[in-house]
């Protein structure tokens, strides 16, 4: 009986400590993390300077996976070819440091405007 009381007290203590740790460090909502990632990627993607064509604005759709090491692996990139090449090149330079975003696949629309260059 004494052993059962010790186990019960240890179990309750573990539950209490886990609840206290979670309350002091709550998980970040997924939508907030995704919005932060999308905004950061849009900030990185400037209108490419090597575009010869007269394209004032265009969209590029990107499906990518954030690998466990934080690198971005572009799975599918659709849009004007010059912009697609630019996006693929820029994504290789991005390092995602938030571990909550690792191992997941995302889709984003990147808008390029020549006027915002």
- Kindly report the three-state secondary structure assignment for every residue of 28-95: CCHHHHHHHHHHHHHHHCCCCCCCCCCCCEEEEEEEEEECCCCEEEEEEEECCHHHHHHHHHHHCCCE
Domains within the chain, CATH numbers bracketed: 29-116 (3.30.1150)
Please, what is the end-to-end C-alpha distance for the chain in angstroms? 75
Inter-residue contact 69 to 24 (CB < 8 Å): no
Q: What is the per-residue pLDDT across 14-63, written as a single tens digit (0 to 9) for each?
A: 676 666 555 555 444 454 577 788 888 888 888 888 777 777 788 999 99
The pTM of the full predicted model, rounded to 2 decimals, is: 0.66
Q: What is the per-residue pLDDT across 68-100, written as a single tens digit (0 to 9) for each?
A: 999 999 999 999 998 999 999 999 988 888 888
């Amino acid at each position: 009986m004494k052993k059962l009381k010790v186990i019960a007290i240890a179990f309750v203590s573990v539950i209490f400590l886990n609840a206290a740790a979670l309350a002091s460090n709550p998980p970040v909502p997924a939508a907030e993390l995704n919005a932060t990632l999308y905004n950061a990627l849009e900030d990185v993607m400037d209108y490419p300077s090597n575009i010869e064509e007269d394209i004032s604005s265009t969209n590029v759709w990107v499906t990518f996976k954030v690998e466990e090491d934080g690198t971005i692996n572009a799975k599918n990139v659709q849009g004007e070819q010059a912009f697609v090449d630019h996006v693929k090149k820029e994504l290789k330079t991005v390092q995602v440091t938030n571990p909550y975003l690792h191992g997941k696949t995302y889709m984003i629309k990147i808008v390029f405007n020549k006027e915002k260059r």
